[in-house]
Amino acid sequence: MALLKFRAPAAMPAAPAADSAALEAFLKGYSIEVMPRTAEKVEDFRDLLPAGTRVYIAHIEGTPIVDMVATAKRLTDEGYNVMPHFPARIIKDAATLENWIAMYQGEADVKQALLLAGGVSKPHGEFHSSMQLMETGLFDKAGFTRLHVAGHPEGNRDIDPNGGDAAVMEALRWKQSFAERTDADMAIATQFAFEAKPIIAWAHRLKAEGIDLPIHIGIAGPAKLQTLIKFAIACGVGPSLKVLQKRAKDVTKLLMPFEPNEILNDLAAHKAANPDFNIESVHFFPLGGIKTNAQWAIDHGGASGRPANQN
């Protein structure tokens, strides 16, 4: 498929700072990510998250599928919409994939999934991309109603090792086509970044090139600066890492938590000024802890600032 030529849109005036109502609206329907080992530290998610919140379950290499499924069941029982990760490169074959799907459905009534390549460099079996998982038809056969795929506002060196984003964009075009020729309800869940301007430019670019899948923008939750820098480097965060590096030069701020106020206010203001902006919701990576992230969301009006046990 020939790559579409892209002409950058004319520079738009900077959006004003978001007011509390704009930020609350932008946080509506936010999602959050957990792992089995971090979920174990939470006594009851209903003390932290609004009822019906979408909770992704990250599948790290080496995590037994039974632990993943048990976490999914617990979250479902507590009233949450569970979206487990299906990392292609750690799934041995179609039979394994079908078994995982059956376990999630049989134990936790899961009907949605995040499909991604996964963080390992060498595939464990026959899959190396999320597109291959989608092509099996197993999610459709099992009646999954929603599939999310990964997005990278600052590129991905794993996919485009020489820089740029040609392969990333080609993959997104394929996924757009898949959504158009199937009944899949799809969205793009992105890697986190720390600056709104490049995210806004990336989102507008996708739309200009005919990729109109809704975007769930990845945001790192409040955490110590050193923690965020460590995860940002490990996850391949791009130029927006400079936001953290600049702050790190001020030694008085090294031990202070870094909060996502600025980036979310900027994105919320842009959304308020441009209602058709294709970022649909926020997806939190709770790098400083689930409780810390959930409290930040409550304090800033996420789902009107009420966890499930207070509704």
Q: What is the pLDDT of residue 17?
A: 52
Residue 193 placed within a domain: yes
d(CA 262, CA 161): 31
- 174-204 pLDDT, tens digit per residue, is 999 999 999 889 999 999 888 999 999 999 9
| pTM, entire model | 0.88
Residue 1 placed within a domain: no
Residue 295 placed within a domain: yes
The model's confidence at residue 2, banded by pLDDT at 50, 70 and 90, is very low
Residue 12 placed within a domain: no
Q: What is the pLDDT of residue 12?
A: 42
Residue ranges making up the domain that contains 191: 20-310
Residue 249 placed within a domain: yes
Residue 3 placed within a domain: no
Inter-residue contact 69 to 102 (CB < 8 Å): no
- 9-26 pLDDT, tens digit per residue, is 344 444 445 578 999 999
**How many domains does the chain fold into?**
1
Residue 172 placed within a domain: yes
Alpha helices by DSSP H, the chain: 20-27, 36-39, 65-77, 94-108, 130-135, 138-141, 166-181, 196-208, 225-234, 241-248, 261-273, 290-299
CATH code, domain carrying 27: 3.20.20.220
